[in-house]
Amino acid sequence: MDKPSTTKEEELTPFDYTLSIIGGKWKMKIMYQLAFHGVTRYGELKRRVPGITYKVLTSQLNDLERDDVVKRVEYDQTPPKVEYSLTLRGKSLMPILEEICKWGVHNVPDSQTLNELQ
């Protein structure tokens, strides 16, 4: 869990730290899918997160694994089988994602505008 070093003047706040873990376009979408579907194989996750490239999905999963949010299990078989799931630490972030979803439900624009945002 190496985070960027900071000077005393730019000390990482708890808010900044949390954003460094879950921020960005894809991480919360990945976490949401893992929370909703449980243990998920790579290809399934790729299908469930529309628009994400293989390279970005791999990178984001590596980041989430490094930060102990996602657990990766690789099985010694042919063809290779890899499964992802949320760790306890990852599951502890679910109330935050649930609140974000609730906010979206109450503040979502009309469907045409929403489609333009995606």
Q: pLDDT tens for residues 17-38?
A: 999 999 999 999 999 999 999 9
Identify whether the C-beta of residue 74 lies closer than 8 Å to the C-beta of residue 82: yes
**pTM value > 0.85:** no
Query: Per the structure block, which two tokens stand in for 50?
Result: 């529309």
Domain boundaries of the chain, sorted by first residue = 12-117
* pLDDT at residue number 106: 85
Nearest to 51 by CA among 67, 39, 33, 63: 33
Local confidence band at 9 (pLDDT 50, 70, 90 cut-offs): low
For the segment 112-117, the average pLDDT, to the nearest whole number, is 57
The verdict on domain 12-117 having CATH code 3.20.20.140 is no
Q: pLDDT tens for residues 62-111?
A: 999 999 999 999 999 998 899 999 999 999 999 999 999 899 888 887 76
* CA–CA dist 82, 69 (Å, integer): 16
DSSP 19-79: HHHH-SSSHHHHHHHHHHH-SEEHHHHHHHSTT--HHHHHHHHHHHHHTTSEEEEEESSSS
